Structure 1
Amino acid sequence: MTTVSDFLIQRVREWGVSRIFGYPGDGIGDFDGALGRAERAGTGLDYVRPTHEEIAAFMATAHAKFTGEVGVCAATSSPGAFHLLNGLYDAQMDNVPVVAIVGQQGLDALGTFTQQESNLEVVFADVAAYVKTIVSPEQAQAVIDTAFRTATTRLQPAIVVVPHDVQGMEMTEPAAAHWVSRSSSAAASTKITPPSSDIQRAAQVINEGRKVTFLVGAGARGATDLVVEAARRVGAGIVTALRGKDVIPSDVSFHTQQVGLLGTLPSYRQMTECDTLVLLGTNYPYGEFLPKTGQARAVQVDLKPEQLGIRYPTEVNLWGDVGATLSALLPMLVQQEDLSWQEQIAKEWTQAEQELHAQAMLGFPDGGNPRRVYFELNERLPENAIVTADAGTTADWYAQHIRLRRGMRGDLSGRLASMLAAMPYAIAAKFAYPERPVICTIGDGAFQMLGMNELITVKKYQERWPNKQFIVVVLHNDDLSQVSWEMRTEDANPVWRTAQDVESVDYAGYAELLGFKGIRLRSDEDAGAAWDEAFAHDGPTLIDAYVTRNAPPLPPKITKQYRNNMMKAMLKADPLEVPTLVDSAEALASEALHRTKSALHLGKNDPGQRE
């Protein structure tokens, strides 16, 4: 007998899915049993079971990001389903297709307040573009197909709830009958191209610009060469949103990396000086780092129509795939003869790299420089490496010091910016590309959330990876450092150590308990050697990097509010006042020196763009 669960597994495979991230439970028990039968028959899905349902959802999201496929996760009823939410919101907010298959108590139990029965359709209504409970075998085909079609076209999560008794019902072919839908597993095309008249309007705006900047996000993935060619043709500079970091190779001379609090000065200058802004596949949320209203004419291209024209008053909004749209747009773009804007951006970027190098070489009296850890990693990144970063200051150092060359990948929890995502992202990347080296960069606070647990998952599955190189670097500063800095600079509050302190753990020792290589990095001078040792090891490695909690994540522009809030926090008896002021002063002095040299070299009057 073929059950509903057997059918769902077969249909998931027809949608091109080969892997599912799940955690078992009685509410999803018959579906789990079908997964086991399919595995034994050689027709199943590669089932990966991490240590927590939240991790399974993050892994499904990361799989979708790294592969372009639909990510799939599965969990049991109420508690397991609830645990999926954080990872599913990550997919929702970063526009990623994920399908979750969730168990439920039997049909007769719905609405009767029985154990682990809850209204899951209401629970998932906000996070999912589609959520539906399968109540009969005849309905199963339409629901699973609609879930996948919605996820892929809307770039959002979709939820299929399967009551326990329905999971085991005999599957029947949908009949040509009233109320019965017979659906298709054929994917819908998403290579949407806007009308020619709209593309011509966009080309006119861009061609008339003399200081054009492209802001490129993850939605432009797959269109790298088209973006670079368009920029060369119109003499544009390129800034990437954080999730678009790996879309444009780092060796493109006029690519100045990210913008915003964790961005670079050349990117900030592009935004303050450009006369034309072209947003390509990005929902960059920080309006204060975009051009002032009226400064620039703007064009936006995106597959998410509801996100067009919402961040900046754009003149032309093109609803379409970035690659398909640029293919139509390129023949209409005029080759600019005056490339002085682009050339100036390239010169400024060279100077900015020297400044960032100087920041990485600073020594701090109370611990290692976290920038140095990332700088030395960047110097040694192997070809085809995949790097993940966590929320917090790890994202700052990743943005400012990691340069992803063509073929490399990097990602993180974007708009949600959830802590701990770096670990499930890295493991999902390793499953997707087991032949490639994967590096996870994470803070000690995030690592203590669920990251330490996931080393157990690495231990469980490492033998399946032909390249066993999986490196985790933990920034060990015993502090929730990003929040500490936000308390000071956003709210003018001193650090509250009762909340901010992270209990110190021998992370390298923990890795060694699991049979992995542990490296304890205690001085800046040993950072390069630590990475050399890690990359020489054919197996999982954890670098326990003891760094200062007081290294300032300096934004490209320090506003009066930032500076005044910092001073107010210090006057309120910040418990780390002295080392924080010392480390900040040293970082600012180094920055000011290099910006002055840069200004003299470039012939500018304003070396720092400071208020």
Structure 2
Amino acid sequence: MPLTADFILERLRAWGIHRIYGYPGDGINAFLGALDRADGDPEIIQPRHEEMGAFMATAHAKFTGGIGCCMATSGGGTIHLLNGLYDAKLDHQPVVAIIGQQKRIALGSGYQQEIDPNSLYKDVSADFLQTCMHPAQARQLVDRACKVALNNRTVATIIVPEDVAEEEAQPSPPRQHGAVYTSVGWTKPRVIPPETEIRVAADILNQGQKVAMLVGQGASDSADEVVEAAELLGAGIAKTSLGRAVLPDDLPYSTGPIGLLGSTASYEMMRDADTLFMIGTSFPYAEWLPQEGQCKGVEIDLDGKMIGVRYPMDSHLVGDAKSTLKELIPLLRRKEDRSWRKKIEGEVAEWWRVLDDRAHDKADPLNPELVVHELSERLPDDTIVTTDAGTAANWWARHLRLREGMMASLAGNLATMGPGTPYAISARFSYPDRPVIALIGDGVFQMNGMAELITVKRYRDRIGDAPLVFCVFNNQDLNQVTWEQRAMAGDPKFEGTQRIPDVPYAEFAKLLGFTGVRCDSPKRIGAAWDEVLSAGGPAVLEVVVDPEIPPVPPHFMKMQAKKAAQALRKGDPEAVGIAVKGTKQKGHEFTESIRRHLLPGGVR
């Protein structure tokens, strides 16, 4: 007879979950046997660490739109999932976690590996956190966990004590008072605001002369509608990091990223706008949005709790982006004055020229911006690009020109170290024929990325021969934090916390049987990319880059400039290089601005 563990896997399969990322332990022994009997559906993918499994489940949800699923044993395994699950919660992704627990008879005794997951998970899985106390309860717990995860776009957790998992399954509860009978199934709702509010929004947008749009991942299924609205309004469109792939970067009025990782085009658009139109984003940094009172505001967000909490809005459209835009667009009037749009397109073109100039600045030994610049020119169709916390995220956000059909993501709201490599691995499991590229710093690669290459080796026969490239930026520095020390704390780089060991990453890849390429020359970086992209399977490109190339923000806030200068005066070990290279980087913006405004037709 099937056990409760078998039934839970069967029910997950009925919900379309065919892959579980998990690591074994005796607290889930019953599930290990059930997975064996499941004959690969659902299959179990074994990462090197439970945290990586949770990141992989989050990436599955991000890249497929389905439910991600991870599993861990009781005690330490349950604890290890937390960081990856917080990534799912903060980026609003549906993930179901199955975690083990000691036998019911032992609970409360201080038994080995006995922790209180209800207390531990009460934040990360606040919307659904339940313990399966009886085999007949499993059906409704799985059904409700999946419904809550999808409906609330969050983490749902089922705690399964060992003895319950080992009991005979009861697919249908006894017909008695207290029994619950649930079904598999959920339909994504079409949520539309009241017509009166849509008309208010249309009036505001029609009256605006300088409309700035900001889109996030909530607009990911609404690209056509976003473009149509922007065309009617003569607007420019900035994208958050999570909204990186909502629109292709070849749109001449897409100003690209916003914020510290942003573009000068996005900064100038927000500075000069008179109307702000936010769609599917909770971008939190007020200093990069228009000043309060500068703009009239319209916002579309499916989550009514989060609407109007980033900028004071005049119209609050609680609804899904696609359906709401479809109702709004017929009410929008095409703006005949296209001077605002023309200005934005000029600033966008100028920004791309600035990036080109910056990428070709001399560095010691290799400019990290050139690394991504050269990749951008070589991106295969349908590529999925991941990145991680660190300065690599700056170059990922700015220099990649994503085309239609490409995907990209990172840990947006949690901004944690760790997900770049497991995201890439998960993406490859979901799309075995698509090129996948991860841009990651050496700090995070040492933290967990190198170990997850062993996961790639474990499943080499599943990986296929499409490009799977892990580009590691080797600068022997926890570079993003180093720059934050300077610009936010006014302190010089402290070698004791910031310096990390030099590791031969390309050689490590070769030990595992992969292609490994090391590049420290600007003359060779294009050829290095060609080599790893044509390698036929997993490859590591180790690029030895200059830690003194600053992730220059599109605008220096007064306090940041003051703090950075203070840090250099205190004797920063890289002060001279930073001053020279940083000045040159900002100088490109000035040069391009002069060319655009003073030369005939803005010609270079």
Both proteins in one fold, TM over 0.5: yes
What are structure 2's unaligned runs of at least 5 residues? none
Q: How does 1:135-534 map to 2 (within 5 A)?
A: 135-172=133-170, 173-364=172-363, 366-534=364-532
Paired with 2:24 and 2:142, the residues of 1 have a C-alpha distance of: 20
> Secondary structure of the equivalent of 1:167?
helix
Q: What letter is aligned with 2:353?
A: Q
Q: How does 1:80-95 map to 2 (within 5 A)?
A: 80-95=77-92
Paired with 2:465 and 2:505, the residues of 1 have a C-alpha distance of: 23
The equivalent position to 1:584 in structure 2, one of 565, 582, 585, is 582
Q: CA deviation at 1:598?
A: 2.9
Q: CA deviation at 1:191?
A: 2.5
Q: What letter is aligned with 2:36?
A: G
Q: What letter is aligned with 1:32?
A: L
1:8 is matched with which residue? 8
Q: CA deviation at 1:541?
A: 1.1
List per-residue Cα deviations over 1:110-159 (Å, max 9, x = no partner). 22111111110111000112111010012111111111111111111111
CA contact (8 A) 2:346 2:596 kept: no
> Secondary structure of the equivalent of 1:150?
helix
> Secondary structure of the equivalent of 2:550?
coil
Paired with 2:597 and 2:481, the residues of 1 have a C-alpha distance of: 33
Q: How does 1:551-590 map to 2 (within 5 A)?
A: 551-590=549-588
CA contact (8 A) 1:107 1:165 kept: yes
Paired with 1:507 and 1:185, the residues of 2 have a C-alpha distance of: 46
List per-residue Cα deviations over 1:21-43 (Å, max 9, x = no partner). 1111011110121111111xx6x
List per-residue Cα deviations over 1:94-125 (Å, max 9, x = no partner). 11110100011011112211111111011100
Paired with 1:81 and 1:335, the residues of 2 have a C-alpha distance of: 54
Paired with 2:193 and 2:212, the residues of 1 have a C-alpha distance of: 21
Aligned-residue identity in percent: 44
Q: CA deviation at 1:220?
A: 0.7
Q: CA deviation at 1:589?
A: 3.0
Paired with 1:170 and 1:115, the residues of 2 have a C-alpha distance of: 25
Q: 1:599 to 1:490 in 2, by over 3 A?
A: farther
1:109 is matched with which residue? 106
Q: What letter is aligned with 2:265?
A: P
> Secondary structure of the equivalent of 1:380?
coil
2:535 is matched with which residue? 537
The TM-score normalised by the length of structure 2 is 0.97
Q: CA deviation at 1:244?
A: 0.5
Q: What letter is aligned with 2:32?
A: D
Q: CA deviation at 1:603?
A: 9.4
> Secondary structure of the equivalent of 1:439?
strand
List per-residue Cα deviations over 1:326-357 (Å, max 9, x = no partner). 11111111222222211211111111111110
> Secondary structure of the equivalent of 1:181?
coil
Paired with 1:563 and 1:130, the residues of 2 have a C-alpha distance of: 45
Paired with 1:314 and 1:601, the residues of 2 have a C-alpha distance of: 39
Q: CA deviation at 1:199?
A: 1.6
> Secondary structure of the equivalent of 2:6?
helix
CA contact (8 A) 1:355 1:595 kept: no
CA contact (8 A) 2:433 2:464 kept: yes
Q: What letter is aligned with 1:72?
A: C
Q: What letter is aligned with 2:31?
A: F
The equivalent position to 2:119 in structure 1, one of 122, 126, 137, is 122
Paired with 2:323 and 2:465, the residues of 1 have a C-alpha distance of: 35
Tell which deviates more after alignment, 582-591 or 44-53.
582-591
CA contact (8 A) 1:154 1:304 kept: no
2:24 is matched with which residue? 24
1:608 is matched with which residue? none
The equivalent position to 1:63 in structure 2, one of 37, 55, 60, is 60
Q: CA deviation at 1:279?
A: 0.9
Tell which deviates more after alignment, 454-463 or 375-384.
454-463
Paired with 2:261 and 2:185, the residues of 1 have a C-alpha distance of: 42
Paired with 1:27 and 1:238, the residues of 2 have a C-alpha distance of: 50
> Secondary structure of the equivalent of 1:524?
coil
2:70 is matched with which residue? 73
Q: What letter is aligned with 2:66?
A: E
CA contact (8 A) 1:462 1:468 kept: no
Paired with 2:12 and 2:206, the residues of 1 have a C-alpha distance of: 46
The TM-score normalised by the length of structure 1 is 0.96
Tell which deviates more after alignment, 246-255 or 375-384.
246-255
Paired with 2:293 and 2:536, the residues of 1 have a C-alpha distance of: 55
CA contact (8 A) 2:463 2:537 kept: no
Paired with 1:287 and 1:109, the residues of 2 have a C-alpha distance of: 51
Number of residue equivalences: 600
Q: CA deviation at 1:601?
A: 4.5
Paired with 1:429 and 1:231, the residues of 2 have a C-alpha distance of: 31
CA contact (8 A) 1:22 1:49 kept: yes
> Secondary structure of the equivalent of 2:212?
strand
> Secondary structure of the equivalent of 1:27?
helix
Q: What letter is aligned with 1:6?
A: D
List per-residue Cα deviations over 1:445-479 (Å, max 9, x = no partner). 00000000011111111211333421111000000
Q: What letter is aligned with 1:30?
A: A
1:131 is matched with which residue? 129
Q: CA deviation at 1:553?
A: 0.5
Tell which deviates more after alignment, 169-178 or 44-53.
169-178
Paired with 2:578 and 2:252, the residues of 1 have a C-alpha distance of: 35
Paired with 1:457 and 1:190, the residues of 2 have a C-alpha distance of: 37
Q: CA deviation at 1:585?
A: 2.7
Paired with 2:202 and 2:108, the residues of 1 have a C-alpha distance of: 57
Paired with 1:395 and 1:384, the residues of 2 have a C-alpha distance of: 20
> Secondary structure of the equivalent of 1:267?
helix
Q: CA deviation at 1:84?
A: 0.4
> Secondary structure of the equivalent of 2:129?
strand
Q: CA deviation at 1:602?
A: 8.8
> Secondary structure of the equivalent of 1:440?
strand
1:609 is matched with which residue? none
